[in-house]
Structure formats: structure tokens, C-alpha cells
Structure 1
Amino acid sequence: MTVMKKTLLLCTVLLTFAFNSLYAQMLGTEKYDRFYPGKLWFDTDGQIINAHGGGLLLHEGTYYWFGEHKGEHSNAALVGVTCYASTDLYNWKNLGVAFSVSDEPGSPVERGCTLERPKVIYNKKTGKFVMFFHLELKGQGYNRANVGVAVADKPEGPYTFLKNGRVNPGKWPQNLDKTFKNKQFDKNHKGWSDEWRQDVAEGMMVQRDLEGGQMSRDMQLFVDDDGKAYHIYSSEDNLTIQIAELTDDYLDYTGKYIRIDPAGHNEAPALFKKDGKYFMITSGCTGWAPNAARLLTADNIMGPWTRHDNPCRGKGADKTFNSQSTYILPLPNGKFIFMADRWMPSNPIDGRYVWLPIEWESGMPVLRWHDQWRLEE
């Protein structure tokens, strides 16, 4: 056999092996050993992972991934919240629907409602798993801006719906200047003008929503080192992030909350802590289209918070690599994974997951694109 024929044969064998390996991986018959940001991701049964806008919980050595179940033609909640389990973060087993929407007409979680960004935390005192999610009532668009609360005895559920509503009705934020609590804001200020933005920053929408409670849309839950839990959410028509302290059972609010970057137009908050300092990556508000990420930092979770430049670097940084933050996972080894979604409104189920390692420069988190990467690197 000539050298040329041997070379062609070797190339054919290698290509065949690569194709078969990929096909087997797609069918769930071969394990993943690395992340492929933005690529199709299949569970251990060979089905596309369907857990969008999600978050992770580590419990007794197993990671649980909760997310929105999406269909092909609608972003409405037609199924509920799905749950997947993994011990290595690469390979995920579908545990089914952790929280199901209701077929009862008029239920706050009626099939067809909007249910987004579910997050789950574990309460060591009560032994309960607590789920919060952004909830919009069926047929009412994004006007209600409620938070839904559900609870379970096991991480995978089933979760029982407890209640929904807005945040801290009748309560003022701790860091709102007292002089603005009774200010008469000028309703003639044109939207998005400098005067209007100043009104928002001074608490115009807090005052507007005081009686019924503060709006809650894109959200996260965070449990601090002392066991205190917090609800972080986009409020005031997505113009201001708020952080609200939860009661010891994680099912309600203590009444203490703050505003972050008032009138800064932030959503998709993802908060984490490193070496006693708090970091939060957010996005701007451009609908389903991606935009540049933002970074905020604080020495105390209840502020003050400082806003910084985009933490992304390199090609695609101005669009957060065509994705939007949803959660940041701390790992036992001290590293962190930035979790984001690449939304696909024309075919929601095809929304891709972008998981990237957080790097550090001068004590600040940095994100760079990787076609593939491993936790061990």
C-alpha cells in the first residue's frame, strides 16, 4: 500500500471515529467530558436539555439544575419547571418536572402563564427546598411582575405552590433618601429624559408601587455564609435592581430591602461572593436580543454597590457572547461558572446554554469565550 493510500485510509478512520463519537454523544450513549458553550446539549437519554433561565443547587454531592421548560412555538409556561441531576456538571439526567403548571382556570400558575428564571435554595433549619420564580398571570402580559413561591421535601420535587405577589408592600427601601419619600414627582417629565431618569433614581416608581409592593421580574436567590437568604430581582419596570432579605424559613420577607444602581436599567442579575466581597453580573434591557454585560460590586450585600465596566473580553464581548446571564455557580474548589442563555424566541426550545469559567484580573471577574473547556484545566 502506498504512503498516499495509507494516509487517506488513516484520515477516513479518524473522521469516522470522530463522527461516531459525536453521534453517540448526541444520543446520550457517550459521556461528555467538557463544556461546549452555545452547542446543543443532550441529557443522558439523548434528549435536548430543556432548563432555560435556570439555576443550580448542590445538595449532598449532587448538582440539581432547575429551569424553564420551553416549547417550539411559545415562551409561555405549558409544562413548568424541569429538574436535571449530575455529579460532574457535564452529564445530566432528566428527573422530570419539578413544578407543574395548573389546569385549574384562574390559578396564578395556570397553564399558559409566564414562569421564568426559577431558582431553588435549601433551608437547613426547616429541611425544605424553596423555589422562587418570576410569575406573570395568563393573558396579562408582563404587567403583574409577581414572584411565585413553592416548596418541596426533596430537591427534585414535586414542589407545592404556596403563593404569589409583589415584594414588601408598604415598605420603603433602606437606602432611599428620606427626603424623597413624600416628594411630588412631576408627571409631565417625558419618559427617558434626564429629568425622568432623575425622578426614577430618586424613587418615583418605589413610591408608585409602595402600597401593592415592588415589581419582581428577572431574579435570583442567594444564601450567604451565615445562612441568611436574599431575593435579588429586577424591579421598577426593570430600571433598578433590588435585594430583599428573606425570613429564616425563606418563605417571606423581613421588610428589609435596598435599591441598586437606580435608573441603571439592569436585568438578569447573577450574584456571587468571593473572599468576603460580593459581585453581580447583570445585563441591559433589550428584550430577547443580547447586549453588553454589567458588573457591580459591594463589600456588604446590603450595599453600597458600585457599578463597573463590562467584564467580558474579546470578540463578542459587546453582546456577552450572544447570551444573557442567569446564574453563577460557586464550585467547591473556589472557582465559579458563569451560566447564561442564548435565547431563541422563534424556537424557544432551541435556546442554547453558554457556560464559561470566570477568570480574575486585579481582583475582578473576567469572562472570555471558549469553544470548549474543562473544569480540570
Structure 2
Amino acid sequence: MQYFFKKSNLAVLILFTIALLSVSAQGQTKATFRNFNDASEQVTRFSTVGEAIDAHDGEIAFFEGVYYLYGTSYGCGFQWGKKEAPFCGFKTYTSTDMVHWTDKGFLFDAKTPLWQSRCNGSTYGCFRPHVIFNKKTSLYVLWINVYDNVSGFRVFTSKNPAGPFTEVAEPKLAVNADAPAAGLNNGDHDTFVDKDGTGYLAYTDWRSKGTIVIEKLNDDYLSGSGTVTKAITPGQTEAPSLFERKGIYYLTYSDPNCGYCAGTGTSYRTAKTPLGPWSEGIQISNNSCGGQPSFVSPIKLTSGMIYLYGSDLWNNAAKNESLANFYWAPLNFAEDGSILPMVCKNEVTLSLATGSKGKQQVIKDVDNDTGIKNFKGFCDISNEIQRGQGFRASRTGILNTVSITTFQNNDPDADLIIMMYQADASLLPVGKPLKTINIPKDSVSWSPSNVIVRPDIPVVAGSRYVLVLKSASKKGAYGFMYHDEATEQNAGASYSADGGIHYTIEKNRKIKFFTTIKRK
């Protein structure tokens, strides 16, 4: 019996040690994300398959040990104010480390005639997906901003945080309840669940010229309760985020409001309850680090809770807002609970309390791969302008895959063409194309995505080759992702402004691509 007791104690000790090691391992999950490169230029975040993350004006939420990034998609070519522009829908990405994001697709099917009529370019559009979990109903609740009805919102439910979501009845809100449908009634919003399980909706009242209001939701979070605090801000504001920290409630917002602006202010107010009374506003940034505020998300670290601030780095109302990047960094607080002025950071590292290290998708038979670090976009491939990227084959076999991360802009009127050449010692094209592949313009996303072609041509280890991008487009252009941080001066990138007659080496530049070679 004594031996059994000692053996049991040993087993308990072993299990306790394993648990401690597990917690320690979890605490070592590092999340390092890059907002800007060392030259303070925006860089693009990519998914686990190497495509730009196309989820804007949304939020990061944490459900059941997984981080979810929700946002509006622009990849199909939505343009605010362009009547024929399609609505792209809302996407979600998941991650266990907030660095490696896996595309989980759309929250619901937005291609239907109904949703196109509600949200395409002939309307004011549909924006800002926010998801909260209702413990009483065990349902995830999605609110989106629309402009085809009275309330200004549509609501959905799902048993899964990634959807698919199903629309429920139109919500009723206390503000602008008697206003005509399909107008600028209520807009930009945030959903918030308090510690006691009460839900709230912070939203923008456009009829009062952009004041922010907060309304308590019904128990199921599917509609407003009628209990509301109006005119928390004096007007000309939007994009609210509502959160609680150490008994203080905070409301951050865009100050002033400025749709798709690349640098509008962020201010905040505080209260002892979500319904106020609220303090006067204090500005913590005059440019939101080059964007417009989008969300504030509580994230638990090994050192305690932080409040991650996000802004969308819009392109000053450019035609292609899928190119907008993201700024993410924790807010900093003083001893009295006030938020300190924002200091924009190129890079942020977090030690997550919950998470595990993610990874990029493994590419089978990969030969060349430029990776995903510090890439930015440029768009000029059209008419006489061509772009090239050279490489060496590391093994003999069949070049069966070439992937180039590209996008379209301003509706090109001709297809994209990818050509494969042999290359000289400077990695410039020589001779006639080994392969020419036509990419239909309608198949190229507006968001930087992988266009994958299969040349199926023999290559020899140590030999040089170059892929060339060109188009006859005289309206619009195609873009490419690149960085100028290659350690070798001639990293293979080249440029032609005369239709491919002459090429110029672009020093230290790499265009984002990968190749695979299957051995014979």
C-alpha cells in the first residue's frame, strides 16, 4: 500500500509537470507582425498560401482557442460609387498565432442577385462584419452594415464562427426608426459583450451628421432593445470600437470621419457603464498610423490582457481598395486608465497566452520560393511595360509549376500574358519564348493572388530562366509584389519599357513567385 501511494504521488507529479510544460510551451507562442518595413513603407500580409489577406474594415475575434480575422472583401473589384462594380462579400481567416492566417472563405454567399442588389456599386455598399457569441443561444451572431433598409444593418447566426451564416429578421433600432429605407440612416458599428453577458451595439447615426450612439441589444443579440444613449460624439465621426478595461469602458472612433482616407485621426472617450455618461473626447493620433481606425480587440498575453488596435491603411480612395494594408499594435495606458498618444510601430511582437505556432502551406517539389516577407505592390504592366523575374533551376526535371502573385487595377482591357524564356548570365531573357500562357483578365483578382501556370517544359540544373509578365492593355494594368531587400544586387528582377526589346536589371529586387520542378 505504501509503495502504491508513492507511485501515485509520482504519477501526479509527472502529470503536473507535463501540464506546466504545456502552459509554458503555450506561453512561448510568439506573434510578430510587420506593419511597415525599415523604410516605414507599408508591407502586405499574406495568407498561408501566399495570397494577400483580403479582409478589410473588420475585426480580430477569439473563439475556442482560435483567432478569427473578419473583413470585407474587395478582390472581385468592388469600388465605392461605381454603379457596375460587384459586391464581393465578407471573408474570414483563422490563425493560432496571429501571424499565419488561413483563408476560410466567405461568411455567406454574396454572389446571389439579392445580395448584389443590396450591396453592389449602385448602392452605398455593405461593410464592417462583426461577430459575437451568445452563451444563452450557443450561436455566433454576425452584424453587417447595409444601406438598403431602415435600420442600416443585417443580422445572421451560425453554429460556427467561420459560418456559413444565415440571415435572420431585420433588426430594429431606437435611432432613425422612422427614417425612409435605403438611405444614410445608421452606419459604421461595433458589437460588444459585457462581462455579465449583455450585448451592445455602438453605431454611427448619419442623420445627425455622424454622431455615435450605443444601444443595448436584446438577450439574443439579434436586435436593439430600445435602451440607447445618443450623441456620444458631437458629429463628423464614425468607425467606433467599444471595449472594457479594469472597470472603465472605452469608445474609440475615427475623428473626423473620412471614408477610405489614408490618415484620419483616432480619438476616445470613457465611461463607467456602456450607456454612459461619457467623457469628452481625447485624440490619441492625428493620422491612425496612415489609415482609419477599424477595431480594438482584447488579446490575452502571458503578461496579461492587451488591447490590440487596428487601422485600415486605405489608399486615399484609390480604385482598388483590396490593396489596403493593416496596422496592428497594442494601445498603451497610463496609471489612471487614460490611453497614451499612439506611437506608430514598424513591427510588433506579442507573447500569446493561448496559441500554437502556425506555418505556411508546404509546396510540393518546390525549387524557387521568394517567401512572403516585406513585400509591397506596384502596378504598371500594360502596353509596352513588361516585368521579368529570373531564376536558376536547382535540379533537372520538368518545370511543372510557376506561380506569380499578381492583381489587376482599373479594369484592364486585355489579358495578362506569362512567358518563359531562357536567361543569360544577367538573368535577362534571350531568344524566343519557351512557353507563352494567356491568363484571361476576368480570372485575375483585384487582390494580390497567386496565378499558377504549368509550363511543363524541361529544365536543367544550374541553367538560368526568366518569367516575363506582359499585357497589351491600354486601359488599366496588372500589378506585382516585390521587395528591394535581396542580399545579391542582381536578384533576377528586370524591367522593359519598350515591349521587351531592351531589359534593365533592377538592383536588389525580387518579384514574389515560386516554381516547382518534378524530377524526370
Does the pair score TM above 0.5? yes
Q: Return closer, same or farther for 1:133/1:210 CA change in 2, 3 Å cut-off.
A: closer
How much has 1:230 moved relative to structure 2?
Answer: 0.5
* Residue identity matched to 2:242: L
Alpha-carbon distance in structure 2 between the residues aligned to 1:83 and 1:100 = 13
Query: For 1:295-306, what aligned pairs fall within 5 Å after superposition?
Result: 295-306=268-279
Bigger shift: residues 73-82 or 302-311? 73-82
Alpha-carbon distance in structure 2 between the residues aligned to 1:86 and 1:44 = 9
Specify which of 221, 238, 257 is matched with residue 285 of structure 1: 257
Alpha-carbon distance in structure 2 between the residues aligned to 1:262 and 1:125 = 32
Bigger shift: residues 320-329 or 109-118? 109-118
Specify which of 217, 221, 231 is matched with residue 246 of structure 1: 217
Specify which of 320, 327, 330 is matched with residue 295 of structure 2: 327
- Answer with 1 or 2: which has the greater Rg: 2
Contact 2:47 2:100 in 1 (8 A): yes
Contact 1:50 1:349 in 2 (8 A): yes
Contact 1:32 1:91 in 2 (8 A): no
CA deviation string 1:220-259 (max 9, x = no partner): 0000000000011011434210111111111112111111
Contact 2:171 2:223 in 1 (8 A): no
Q: Return closer, same or farther for 1:376/1:151 CA change in 2, 3 Å cut-off.
A: same
* Residue identity matched to 1:146: G
TM-score by length of 1: 0.73
Specify which of 146, 150, 162 is matched with residue 135 of structure 1: 146
Query: For 1:38-117, what aligned pairs fall within 5 Å after superposition?
Result: 38-71=42-75, 72=77, 74-75=79-80, 78-105=87-114, 109=118, 112=121, 114-117=125-128
* Residue identity matched to 2:63: H
* Residue identity matched to 1:216: N
Contact 2:171 2:224 in 1 (8 A): no
CA deviation string 1:170-208 (max 9, x = no partner): xxxxxxxxxxxxxxxxxxxxxxxxxxxxxxxxxxxx6xx
Alpha-carbon distance in structure 1 between the residues aligned to 2:71 and 2:86 = 11
How much has 1:164 moved relative to structure 2?
Answer: 3.6
Structure holding more strand per residue = 2
Specify which of 164, 178, 185 is matched with residue 211 of structure 1: 178
* Residue identity matched to 1:218: D
How much has 1:33 moved relative to structure 2?
Answer: 4.7
CA deviation string 1:120-148 (max 9, x = no partner): 001111111110011023xxxxx967111
Corresponding pairs, count: 298
Alpha-carbon distance in structure 1 between the residues aligned to 2:203 and 2:311 = 16
How much has 1:281 moved relative to structure 2?
Answer: 1.2
Alpha-carbon distance in structure 2 between the residues aligned to 1:348 and 1:210 = 32
Specify which of 323, 338, 348 is matched with residue 364 of structure 1: 338
Name the residue aligned to 2:196: 226
Name the residue aligned to 2:32: 34
Specify which of 157, 168, 188 is matched with residue 162 of structure 1: 168
CA deviation string 1:257-285 (max 9, x = no partner): 11143533211101111001011111112
Q: Return closer, same or farther for 1:343/1:65 CA change in 2, 3 Å cut-off.
A: same
SS in 1 for 2:350: coil
Contact 2:172 2:224 in 1 (8 A): no
CA deviation string 1:323-345 (max 9, x = no partner): 11111110123111001101123
How much has 1:39 moved relative to structure 2?
Answer: 1.8
Contact 2:119 2:146 in 1 (8 A): no
2:123 pairs with 1:151: no
Q: Which runs of 5+ in 1 are unaligned?
A: 1-30, 138-142, 169-205, 313-317
Bigger shift: residues 31-40 or 55-64? 31-40
Alpha-carbon distance in structure 2 between the residues aligned to 1:77 and 1:66 = 19
Name the residue aligned to 2:328: 355
Identity of aligned residues (%): 27
Bigger shift: residues 291-300 or 31-40? 31-40
Specify which of 329, 338, 342 is matched with residue 309 of structure 2: 338
Query: For 1:166-177, what aligned pairs fall within 5 Å after superposition?
Result: 167-168=173-174
CA deviation string 1:302-332 (max 9, x = no partner): 10001232123xxxxx212111111111012
Alpha-carbon distance in structure 2 between the residues aligned to 1:107 and 1:40 = 28
Alpha-carbon distance in structure 1 between the residues aligned to 2:171 and 2:247 = 32
TM-score by length of 2: 0.54
Contact 1:326 1:340 in 2 (8 A): yes
Structure holding more helix per residue = 1
Structure 1's consecutive aligned runs of 4 or more residues displaced over 4 angstroms after TM superposition are 105-108, 110-113
Contact 1:260 1:305 in 2 (8 A): no
Contact 2:204 2:210 in 1 (8 A): yes
Bigger shift: residues 32-41 or 209-218? 209-218
Q: Which runs of 5+ in 2 are unaligned?
A: 1-28, 36-41, 353-520
Contact 1:77 1:101 in 2 (8 A): no
Q: Return closer, same or farther for 1:107/1:282 CA change in 2, 3 Å cut-off.
A: same
